[in-house]
Amino acid sequence: MLRLEQLSKTYSVGAFGGGRLQAVRDVSFDIRPGEVVSLIGESGSGKTTIGRMILRLVAPTAGHIWFDDADVSTLHRHALKEYYRRVQGVFQDPFSSYNPIFKIDRTFAMIRSGFFPGVDGRTWRAKLEAALESVSLDPGGVLGKFPHQLSGGQLQRLLVARALLLDIRYLVADEIISMLDASTRIDVLNLLGELKARGLGIVFITHDLSLGNYISDTTVILRHGCVVEMGATEKVFGDPRHPYTKSLLASVAQLHAKWGPDEEEPALDGRPAPGEPAPELVAVDDDHLAAAS
């Protein structure tokens, strides 16, 4: 299990780093194998920072991330490499995730030299083909190509395949379909559903409520770095309790339901000062927490 415990991150901002911006504030939740947890929030809500902390690209200011029984921030060398065999990320822009002058084979060969130096060619090839097949790509059709010869959907699947090569158990998917076209994005989303069925735990970061609703088991709504509401997806979407969640849901453009008349904007606090505690979460139902407001 991947467990986030009272995780916080404060950035230094401004010309000389004198300002403080607390991007994430006391965030705690768990990701179990075979579970999709979606982090939903508007820009500046801290959702990407949380993903980057799980991947150890950013160090937390306070709090811990536990992977099984190890504190992720204390991992070094061999232990860190083992962590990356288990936990990988895929990001928003598939076009900038690749080295444009390397063919896809070479991108994958780097995984082989980094993580599987002892594996012989045939075993590697079989492993590679299995990974590509599990993301519905034809190995012959993609391996000899340069990134610019492939579509965004194909590139994004290749990144997932690259993560699968490492026998990962958790995947951080940060806005992985927001740059894809409508007709292909649903296939990448369904791919996450298949990975989940194979027992992968997935952190799905998005600003799009309908995508989070479609794929996730658990939903975490973030605002200004704090969790305002979390719990089982059907409860958060079906019975939202926090005024912010309600206003988000009322603002989503839906296909078969028109926006209601303009409601009063809920009076919500601004971003709390760095160091202030996050509003406390209270249980409003089984597996459904909301911040007191």
Interface contacts to another protein, rule CB under 8 A: 42-43, 151, 153, 181-187, 189-190, 193, 207, 209-211, 213-215, 233-234, 237, 247-249, 251-256, 258-259, 262
Least distance (Å) from another protein to the CB of residue 278? Answer: 20
Residue 123 backbone phi and psi in degrees, to 5? -60, -40
**Euclidean distance between CA atoms 118 and 115, whole angstroms:** 9
Least distance (Å) from another protein to the CB of residue 231? Answer: 15
Q: Which is nearer to another protein, 50 or 192 (CB)?
A: 192
**Euclidean distance between CA atoms 230 and 208, whole angstroms:** 16
Q: Which is nearer to another protein, 128 or 220 (CB)?
A: 220
Q: Which is nearer to another protein, 27 or 188 (CB)?
A: 188
Q: Which is nearer to another protein, 69 or 262 (CB)?
A: 262
Residue 22 backbone phi and psi in degrees, to 5? -90, 110
Least distance (Å) from another protein to the CB of residue 103? Answer: 20
Euclidean distance between the first and the last CA atom of the chain, given in angstroms as a whole number:
31
Classify burial at 171, counting beta carbons within 10 Å of its beta carbon; exposed 0-12, middle 13-18, buried 19 or more: buried
Least distance (Å) from another protein to the CB of residue 32? Answer: 16
Least distance (Å) from another protein to the CB of residue 91? Answer: 17
Q: Which is nearer to another protein, 68 or 263 (CB)?
A: 263
Least distance (Å) from another protein to the CB of residue 244? Answer: 10
Q: Which is nearer to another protein, 73 or 210 (CB)?
A: 210
Least distance (Å) from another protein to the CB of residue 16? Answer: 18
Q: Which is nearer to another protein, 134 or 178 (CB)?
A: 178
